[in-house]
Amino acid sequence: MSSISKNASADLEKSPESAKRRNDYKKLRRRNTLTFWSFVGPMALGLLVFVGIPIVWGIVLSFGNAQTTITPTKFVGLSNYIQVLSDPQFRSSMILVAIFAIIIVPLTLAFSLGLALLVNEVKFGRGFFRTVFFIPTACSYVVASAIWKMSLFNGTSSGFMNTILGWFGVEPIQWISASTPPWYWLVLVTVRLWLQVGLYMILFTAGLQDIPPEVYEAGRIDGIRNKFQELRYITLPLLKNTTISVSLLCLIGAFQAFDEFYNVLGSASGSGSGNLSLAMPPLVYLYNMAFSSQNYGVGSAGAFILTIVIVIFALLQGKLTGSKK
Amino acid sequence: MKNRHRISASRVVRQTLIYLLLIILAIIFLVPFYVMLRNALSTKAEVTSLDWVWFPKELQWQNFAEVFEDGSIFPQGLLNSAVISVIQIVLQLAISAAAGYGLARVPYRRRNLVFAAFLATMMVPTAVTFVPSFAVVSALGWVSTLAGIIVPGIFSVFSVFLFRQFFLDFPDELEEAGRLDGLGPWGVFFRIVLPNAKGITVALGAIGFINSWNAFLWPLVVGQDEHSWTVQVALSSYLNSYSVDFPVLFAAAVTSIIPLVILFFIFQRHIVEGVKMSGMK
């Protein structure tokens, strides 16, 4: 629209009407600018205040001495970064969350794709099964953590899992409170799986429904004989985009894990102690650094290191899933 | 003939196996709900009994009454969560629908630049901003207030993105008709565009409500005293307190998911649509 008026005003440069036209055009443009900002302004302002400023503030904090204050007092260069990187607790939190992501991403992919494929194969009760697998999304991490911690994986014989295992003569297992063997991994991984698998199943189902049936017919003509080959040569390659977006969403979520660690491993004696020392993800570390130790400078430096690691992992994974198929 | 018979037989076996697998998986997925309800309706003794009690002898409905007793942290938490979620959703939808419309439909030279700047903020994970965001909130004097929990959450680039996408495909003729009737840009937006965007609005609203209701880290950071706790923060603090009463804890947990389960059954279609859209990120 604006380009048309621009050409018109150029063509009519020398005619007597040109001045008026150009004036009209300018007025229209000014009005459009005003209209645009009346629609977009609130959002732009909000992002500036609640995302833009925090990012800049975070950078300033990470290079400043900001203990017990959110306004850094002096520039300290890279010392916050050096301090956080030399803290063994921070390093082990980064290793922990990387392992967590490496476990949770493939499991989530396998289960959500598997459920989508299975439900797609049956004729009756599709809606019912989808609802059952999807309904955990209504639960919060806090609620799920309470169920997992207090009942499912309760360390005494009154726990649900220990009851089931007891039928086979297995002694009660201390799921959460013991560090060896590290059964708490099973607890943390299954909470997240239960909560998110249904969500990603929906994405895979949508991806499956986008594959036109003619493709399968063509495949049969080209010599695809069984369901397995169909999956291997048609379905999976055509789900590539869904797989990439699911694994990225899942990866970024895993690196920012907080709720289930805080609630499953936390204890009455405060979030910093208890079983959280067994497995503390970076976000819990940062939370403690900022709100228990009140060291906002070191906390912000840790946050930027975490971001860089997330970006690297996301790029790596993009490459991995992108080139495979 | 014989061959065809064999194929259909093997198909029956296959279908049976798939159903069997699906039923087993469905039971596993439902176990946590059973456990939650059992705990909420049992006595303390039954919950902590060393033998698993499959079904409480008598359903202990008074556990739910205890959730709402004087001195309980849950009524305030539920109320806070409801207020926060509703306000957050209404504001978020209003702001992002308007922004999406402006970005899609108002001819402004730098609108693509503005849109790119919006998208760039999506790349930044919450992990980076939650500490300095707290600094902003505390500079505004909003620590331990509902405003501090609500306001930073109403600017969703993701919603703007989807609204923009939707408005890009909106038919010109409808807008033109509105303009001929003498409507200004806001008139066109309110009278013509918004009434035709109900589906996407409900989908984003339902997804947003779930996220807002279930949010934990941010309300935990901002809500530093009991009066500003959301139901999630209240549950978490009760879960890890010395005085935890299991049946009451789970009665509160059940109460906290009832609104969402109702929402699920009313808006399931829209929620599924919303989830699908979220995969396009």
**Does residue B76 sit in the same domain as residue B59?**
no
Q: Percentage of chain A surpassing pLDDT 70?
A: 90
**Does residue B94 sit in the same domain as residue B34?**
no
d(CA A114, CA A200): 11
Quick one: pLDDT at residue A274? 58
Tell me the residue range of the domain where B55 lies: 2-64
Using the CB atoms, write b or e for A266-286: b if 16+ within 10 Å. bbeeebbebbbebbbbbbbbb
Q: Which residues does chain A have within 8 Å of residue B272's beta carbon, measured at their own beta carbons? A: 134, 202
Please report the DSSP string for A31-61 in residue order: HHHHHHHHHHHHHHHHHIIIIIHHHHHHHHH
Least confident of A11-25, A93-107, A248-262: A11-25
Whether residue B160 and residue A43 make contact (CB cut-off 8 A), yes or no, is: yes
Whether residue A36 and residue B108 make contact (CB cut-off 8 A), yes or no, is: yes
Helices (H) and strands (E) in chain A, counts: 16, 0
Q: Which of A285, A286, A265 is nearest to B236 (CA)?
A: A265
The reply to whether A81 touches chain B by the CB within 8 Å rule is no
Q: What residues of chain B, 241 to 270, have a C-beta less than 8 Å from chain A?
A: 241-242, 244, 246, 249-250, 253, 256-257, 260-261, 263-264, 268
- Looking at the structure of chain B, the number of domains it has is 2
Give the model confidence (pLDDT) of A107-138 as tens digits: 999 999 999 999 998 888 898 999 999 999 88
**Does residue B58 sit in the same domain as residue B115?**
no
Q: Which residues does chain A have within 8 Å of residue B268's beta carbon, measured at their own beta carbons? A: 131
Neighbours of B120 (CB within 10 A): 12
Give the model confidence (pLDDT) of A185-219 as tens digits: 999 999 999 999 999 999 999 889 888 888 888 88
Which residue on chain B is closest to A151 by alpha carbon?
B35
Residue where one domain finishes, among candidates B64, B89, B107: B64
Quick one: pLDDT at residue A269? 52
The reply to whether A296 touches chain B by the CB within 8 Å rule is yes
Quick one: pLDDT at residue B160? 93
- Report the gap between the CA of B70 and the closest CA in chain A (Å): 23
Percent helix, strand and coil across chain B, each to the nearest 5: 75, 0, 25
**What parts of chain B have a pLDDT lower than 70?**
1-7, 279-281
Q: Which of B113, B153, B145 is nearest to A51 (CA)?
A: B153
Using the CB atoms, write b or e for A224-252: b if 16+ within 10 Å. beeeeebeeebbeebbeebbbbbbbbbbb
Q: Which helix (DSSP H) or strand (DSSP E) does residue B103 occupy?
A: helix B74-105
CATH code for position B238: 1.10.3720.10
The complex's ipTM works out to 0.90
**Does residue B90 sit in the same domain as residue B183?**
yes
Quick one: pLDDT at residue B279? 66
Q: Which of A42, A159, A310 sits opposite B125 (nearest CB)?
A: A310
Q: Which of A237, A251, A243, A242 is nearest to A315 (CA)?
A: A251
Q: Give Cα B18 to chain centroid, integer Å.
A: 32
What single-letter amino acid sits at B21?
L
Helices (H) and strands (E) in chain B, counts: 14, 0
**Does residue B102 sit in the same domain as residue B227?**
yes
Structure-model confidence comparison of residues A41 and B2, the more confident one: A41
Q: Is A176 helix (H, G, I), strand (E, B) or coil?
A: coil
- Domains of chain A, each with CATH number or no CATH: 2-62 (no CATH), 81-324 (1.10.3720.10)
**Does residue B87 sit in the same domain as residue B210?**
yes
Q: Is the peptide bond before A181 cis (omega within 30 degrees of 0)?
A: yes
Q: What residues of chain A, 133 to 162, have a C-beta less than 8 Å from chain B?
A: 133-152, 156-160
**Does residue B36 sit in the same domain as residue B82?**
no
Q: Which two tokens stand for residue B242?
A: 């010395």
Residue where one domain finishes, among candidates B64, B83, B111: B64
At residue A8, does pLDDT exceed 60?
A: no
**Does residue B10 sit in the same domain as residue B108?**
no
**Does residue B76 sit in the same domain as residue B202?**
yes
Q: What residues of chain A, 11 to 30, have a C-beta less than 8 Å from chain B?
A: 29
- Report the gap between the CA of A136 and the closest CA in chain B (Å): 8
Residue where one domain finishes, among candidates B41, B64, B87: B64
Quick one: pLDDT at residue A180? 72
d(CA A159, CA A151): 5
**Does residue B228 sit in the same domain as residue B189?**
yes
**Does residue B140 sit in the same domain as residue B167?**
yes
Whether residue B276 and residue A206 make contact (CB cut-off 8 A), yes or no, is: yes
d(CA A85, CA A305): 9
d(CA A255, CA B150): 24
**Does residue B129 sit in the same domain as residue B56?**
no
Q: Which two tokens stand for residue B131?
A: 């500490």
Alpha-carbon distances of B203 from B162, B170, B264, rounded to whole Å:
11, 18, 11
d(CA A57, CA A51): 10
d(CA A154, CA A157): 8
Q: Is A295 helix (H, G, I), strand (E, B) or coil?
A: strand
Quick one: pLDDT at residue A3? 42
d(CA B221, CA B237): 13
Taking all residues of chain A, what is their mean pLDDT, rounded to a whole number? 85
